[in-house]
Every structure is written in C-alpha cells, then in structure tokens.
A and B are shown apart, each in its own frame.
Chain A
Amino acid sequence: MNPDSLAALSDSLFSITVALYSLAVVAFCAQLAFGRRPARTPELVAAGGGSAPAEPAPEGPAEDRRGRRWGVVAMGLTVLGVLAHGGVLVFRGLATDRLPWGNMYEFATATVLVAVVAYIVFALRAPALRHLGLFVLAPVVLALVLIGLFLYAQAGPLVAALRSYWLAIHVSTAIIGFGIFFVSGIASVMYLVRSRYEARLADGGAPESGIVSRLPAAAALDRVAHRTAVFGFPIWTFAVIAGAIWAEAAWGRFWGWDPKETWAFIAWVVYAAYLHARTTAGWRGRPAAWVNVVGLVVMIFNLLFVNMVSTGLHSYAGV
C-alpha cells in the first residue's frame, strides 16, 4: 500500500474506533441499568450497621445474568475499539515512516489509547472495577471526538527538531504517564462522587437507586486511583528528565521555564503532593482525591492550552 492509502486507512480506523467505543459506552450503560436489582438495598444498610459506614463489597450484590452479559459485550467492544485505535497509530506510523506521535493529533490519540489500555488491564485484574467502564469510556469518546474535530493533522514528515531518538523516549513515556494519570483522575472523580453517597448512607440517608449506588465501593476506587498514580509517577518523572536531556541537546539548555516545562513541573509537584497527601493524616480520602483531580486538570491544561494558546518551543509539534 502506498503512504496515501495507509494514511486514509488510519483515518477510517479513527472513525471506527470512535464508533466502537460509543457502542461500548451504550453497553456499559445497559450493564449498569440492568446490572443489579434495586430491591437489595435494605439488607445492605443493615449489614453495614453500627458505627462503621456501610461499605458494600466491591462486587456488590449478585448481578443478574442480563447485566453480566451486557458487561461482557461492553468489554468485548472496548477491546475491539482498542485494536482499531492501535491501528490508527500503526498505519499513521507506516504511512509516514516514523513514530506516530509527531504532532498534537497523534500525541493526544496515543494518550487516549494508553488510558483505555490501562483501564482494560485494571478491569482484567479486578473484575469488580469493570463498572468503571462507562466513566472511563465516555470521557474517552468525548476526547476522541474533540481530537478529531480540532486537532486533526494530515499525515506528514517530522520537522527537523523532532528527528531524534529522544522522540521515542521522551514522548512515549509522557504519553504513557499521561494515559495512566487519566485513569487515576477518573477513579478519583468517581471516588469523590461515591464517597459522598456512602457518607450519606452512613448518616441514614435514603439509598438511591441511581448509577452512584452501582459504582464500586469508595475504598476500591481510592485504591485504584492511588495505585495508578504510583505507577504513573515514576514514568512521568522519567519523561520529564528525558525531556530535559533532550532539551539540552536541542535547545541549548536542559531547563528554561518554557511554558510546557513549567506546566510539566507543576503537574509533577501536584502528583507528588497527591502521593504525600495519601499518607498524611488529615489529608487522606477526599482532600487527597481533590489533589489528584487537580493533577488531571493540570495535565489536560498543559496539553491543550500550552500547545494551542501560548507559544513556546514545544509549539512546533503543531496542531
């Protein structure tokens, strides 16, 4: 196949990916809708009784068969989506004969892929967390649609400054770190929602039959958020160090407070603070989760604002 048709194939796969993920979102919704019988709540509160807050087991009460089937369909669609998503990047890479993260469209697409893969790995290892699917995949679909609309760039060669093996090292690790932080941030948002619900239950509030009651337990969400952040932090640290090494060779200094560098540093500090907060009394739980959410906002700000609005040395990656 010639480069043009490879690039066209990559573009079609992008649409297919969005379609598959959207179907997976529908299936995840169905899983949540049919997943559990709302009748179970009274025993649950009783079981939690006493002073301990009610904390349903991560699995929750027995899922009915219909719900489970929808869950399998949703995971299947997600996996198919990931294959197509990987194809978007592979064929971009083949069409241009280089690593497929030379501009913002490719970088953002790869980041979202890492996020979905990180989610799938988690869901395989802890089936209870599959219920998180809707909340990962819905932002993913939104992100991909925005990427397709606003960041799309024609397949093309790299500018001179990016022709370095540091592209493979620095940008790949930044993508992986970002993708993992994405899942971590979503888990913290879910945790914030769910823990408020659990606190209300513990105060004797009426249990809702809405989606919140079907989320994994707050403690499990908090653990996912922490573990992913622990995994992502060294990777992000490495990405920043690798960026500094590359900057020394490309721009004449290893650190110059270029906007991208500044925000990478800010994100690093916020995630370090999150890890500390998790082990500091008075900060555990909701305050720590908020710090993690701030981290995610900083990461997204760094990707969008710094590339599109301000001009720095990183801007040549292009929109």
Chain B
Amino acid sequence: MSVESPPRAAAPPPPARPSAGRRVAGRLLHWWRRLTAMRTAIVLLFLLALAAVPGSLLPQRSLSQNKVNAYFTDHPSLAPVLDRFYLFDVFSSPWFAAVYLLLFISLIGCVLPRALEHFRALRAAPPAAPRHLLRLPDSGDLVTPLPGPQALDVVEEELRVRRFRVVRREGELSAEKGYLKETGNLLFHLSLVALLLGLAGGKLWGYEGSILVTEGQGFCNSFQQYDTYSSGPLVQSGDLTPLCVDLEDFRAQYEENLTAASFTADIRYGAPGEDGRPTTIGVNGPLRVDGARVYTTGHGYSPTFSVTRPDGTAISDVSVPFLPTDQSTMASEGALKLPDFGAASDDQLALEGFFAPTGLVQNNILTSVDPRPLAPQVAIVIYQGYLGLDSGIPQSVYSLDASQIDRGRLTRVAAANLKVGESTTLPDGTTVAFTGYREFASLQLSHDPGQVWVLVSAISLLAGLLGMLLLRRERVFARVAADPGGGGTVLTLASLTRGSGESAPRFAALTDDLDDALAARVPAPHPEDRPRES
C-alpha cells in the first residue's frame, strides 16, 4: 500500500450484467478500500482530535459531577440540549466511540497488508538496477583500470561493510539497506492498534472506588463500601481484588510559606480477615498490590464532639469528616447528625458548622489562617427536631436538609464558637463539647488491567517512531561497462534514498570512498579517477 493511493476503480470492468451479489461485494470492497486508505485514517485522526475539543471546554461528568450540575443551573435551557448529544460525557459517548472504532478498523486494514508485504520484501532480493542509472537523482561515473567483475567485487565489499544487502547480477549490482525504517513504521502503526486495544480493555474490565477514611478506620474493596465508584461493563463484583486497608495515621507537612510539602498515610493492608502489612503511601507513591492500586487523593479534618444529656446519657468523641472548602487554609464545613440520640423521632440532634485548623475570631466570625492544626476551633449551629433521614429522600452527609429547617421541623437551638475542650449548653440542658479532631484521607482504589499493555504499546510506539523518522532506506546500484576511451572500466553508480537528511552529500561521500577503495587495488592509480557527476 502506498502513502498516496490514486483513486482506484471499485472493481474490474463489470461483465455485461453482474449478479446482485457481485455488485454488493464490489461496493463493499470499494468502501473497505476507502476506509483503509491512509487519507481516511488521517481524516479520522483529525476527527478524533476535533471530537475531544468539547470534552475539554465543557464540564465532564467523568471529571466533576458538581461542575456539570453547576452548568445545568447556569444554563437551564441549553444544558439539556447539550446533554442529549452526550456533550457532558464526550469520552464515553457513542459518537466518540464511533470515530475511535472506525479509526481502529482503518488502521488494521491498512497496516496488516503492509506488514505482509514488508515480510515478503524482507526475504526478497533487492530489485534489479534500472536501465538508465544516470537518470536517478544521485548518480555518477567512476573510471578504473580494473576489469569489470573485479571493480564490482570492490563495490560489493565496500557496501557489505556498510551493512547493505547486496545482489550481484550479470555486469551489475543492487544493494539495499534500511529495512528497519519500514519495520519501525509498521511497529509504530501496530503499536497504535495495540494501544487502542489496551485502552478498551481497561475501560471494560477496570473499576475505581473512592472513600473517605478517618484515622483509625478502614475499608474493604467492595462496591457497597465506597462513597462513589465506577466500573466497566464487564466487571463482576465477585472479581474485585480481595483487599482491606486501614488508615492508621495521616500526616500533612508544610513549608514555611505554607506550601504543602508532603501528604503521607500510614496504612495496613491485606486480604479480609488478615492482620495486614504496614506501609506508607502518599502523593506520587501509591500502594500497588495484585493489580489494585491505592492512592491518597485528598485529606481533611474530622472534628470530634461529645454530647451529654442532662440525665447523664452521653455519646463521646464522635468524629465526623468536614470537607475542606479552601485547600490553602483547610477551612472545612460539615455536619453531625445524631438521629438516635434523643428519646423520640422529633427529638433528634444535629449540628452544622465550620472547622478551622488554626482559627481566628474577628467580630465573632471564625476564619482559618493556617492549614496546620495549631489552634483548632469550630463554629457550630445546633439544631433539634426531626432530621428527615428516614423520609426516603437521600441527604448529603455533609450538610443538613435545609427543607426540614424551612418547614420548622428542625429548629436552631444554639450557636457557638468552640476551642478544643470547650462546650456549650442547650436550653434543655444538653451539653455539646468540641473534644478535638482526627485527620481523614480520601482514598481511591483503582484497577486497570489494560494499563501495562498500554505502557508496553506506548514504548514500542515510540521505538517504532524513532526508527521510522531517523533511519533512512537506501538503494545503491552499480553497473560496469568497458571504457570506450581506454582499456579500463566505467563504473556507473546511482542511489535512491528515502527518509531524513540530504542524499547528495552522502552519495558524494560514498563515491569518494569507493574511488579510494578502487584506487587501492590498482598498482598505480590514475589521477583522473575522480567521479564525474552527471
């Protein structure tokens, strides 16, 4: 297959009346050739790039569901239309997949025949010399007193030293080198196919789950446990790597100017029921075990509270994760819900608030000034009443259901800024104490069976690319004839080069070397034995 395929006839001129089957076959062949032409591949490649553009300009569900929601709120009439065209799920949309699959078929269709042809060429002899050597772009004559066959011997020897494959024929010689260039080209294109396969495999059999884990707690690899997860269509929940992880200690370190320097989590991991091995993971350093990888993707603080009723019943040190709203100061927000604490369903207790690892109170407003827990404080608002947790409508765990407050079923009973150890007393005598904090880590477990395959493909793609771009394919032809002007031989040389670099200087250097080699075989070299460029 050539780079530029001239428009081809769909099929040989049809006989008087081709059968319907023939015509369909001809049509299919025509479309197959169209699809597998290199030009089509390039157009498809361009389309793939173009198709990726909206994926980077519009919010994507795969990256941030929140941003997509915000877009829907900001553009209530436009967003549903865009959504109809999968513009918030570009990379998993049918049209993206269509381009990707067509490209894939096109690549296979054009690379396989080339690979076969190349395999045959590898074993075939270099082609015979063209009749008019001096018409090639790089060509010239050398005159030598050596007889013809001997002159060709010298040429052959010199070319073999340069790792050409040489074939002698009657009075002439053909040589070729640089098969690796074509090999590189094929390797590159086949790697591209392999890479696409690896990507697809990862999408089908891969999964990923995220969970927020407070120090002292843990999770096991099952979809029920994750806060959020996504999995490929061919993943069966029974296939999940049996792995449990416990978070023992989380540390965040900061530079003097409060740039985050490192986040590390000491964990224990092992099969369910096992005691587990300790290790430390952190930014850029995940745990890799049995095809599963565990990452720390974020962190934050879980303030702890103790609540004591006037009758002495108490809950102590319940911790609840507050989500950071500002990574530079780790100011965080969250809610604590205690549905079972009160005596009745309308006597539930909850608090919503703000946590500052290093708090500063100005005008009774708490702000955070440092991400490190130097002086933790909370600003909380406490509610009593009915939380609505059993109403069937899912609630965020990080905030209270505002509609319950609006409807008056949940009433605000107190508000306070508390330092560690401080407490506030509600009108009914219950005390709420801020007792301290723990750190939590957002952990993510990922499994992608395609990724090693993709890595290997990418490396061989790069190797093929280098071979294809840097090597050159070179053919050299030589023919001898008796010198009409004397008893010697005229040696006509020509070369054809494909690939990088200028061919003329290389050809001149080759001719000079050959001339020297010929001269070395002759007892007394003639001074006029210089190449005559045509």
Contact = CB atoms under 8 A, between A and B. Distances in A.
Contacts of A266: 49, 52-53
Contacts of B465: 233-234, 237
A158 interface: yes
The contact size tier of chain A is: 35 or more
B262 A163 contact: yes
A157 B45 contact: no
A157 B49 contact: no
A245 interface: yes
Interface string B40-82: 0010011011001101110010110000000000000000000
Contacts of B337: none
A299 interface: no
Interface stretch (A18-26, A195-203, A269-277): A269-277
Interface in A254-299: 254-259, 262-263, 265-266, 269-270, 272-273, 275-277, 279-282
Interface string B240-264: 0000000000000001010111110
A52 interface: no
Contacts of A241: 458-459, 462
Interface string B456-488: 001101100110010000000000000000000
B279 to A, nearest CB: 15
Contacts of B45: 269, 272-273
Given A253-B448, A280-B4, A245 B455 contact: yes
A244, A249, A256: which has the most chain B beta carbons within 10 Å?
A249
A171 to B, nearest CB: 14
B102 to A, nearest CB: 15
Interface in A130-188: 156-161, 163-164, 166
Given A230-B469, A249-B284, A263-B56, A157 B259 contact: yes
Given A230-B500, A259-B56, A282-B4, A276 B462 contact: no
Contact of B444 (A164, A249, A252, A269): A252
A269 B192 CA distance: 12
Interface in A88-131: none
Interface in B498-525: 500
A298 to B, nearest CB: 9
Contacts of B46: 269-270, 273
A-side interface mostly: helix
B396 to A, nearest CB: 22
A239 B284 CA distance: 18
A310 B49 contact: no
29 contacts: A156-B257, A157-B257, A157-B261, A160-B283, A161-B284, A163-B284, A227-B500, A230-B469, A230-B500, A233-B465, A237-B462, A245-B455, A246-B284, A250-B284, A252-B208, A252-B286, A252-B444, A252-B446, A253-B446, A257-B55, A257-B90, A257-B91, A269-B45, A269-B48, A272-B45, A276-B38, A281-B4, A310-B56, A312-B63
Q: Which 9 A-B pairs have the closest CB atoms?
A: A262-B56, A269-B49, A259-B56, A281-B4, A164-B284, A266-B49, A252-B295, A160-B260, A157-B255
Interface of A: 156-161, 163-164, 166, 227, 230, 233-234, 237-238, 241, 244-246, 248-259, 262-263, 265-266, 269-270, 272-273, 275-277, 279-282, 306, 310, 312
Given A249-B284, A257-B62, A306-B56, 17 more contacts: A156-B259, A157-B261, A161-B284, A164-B284, A230-B469, A233-B469, A241-B458, A250-B283, A253-B448, A257-B55, A262-B52, A262-B56, A269-B48, A280-B3, A280-B4, A281-B4, A310-B56
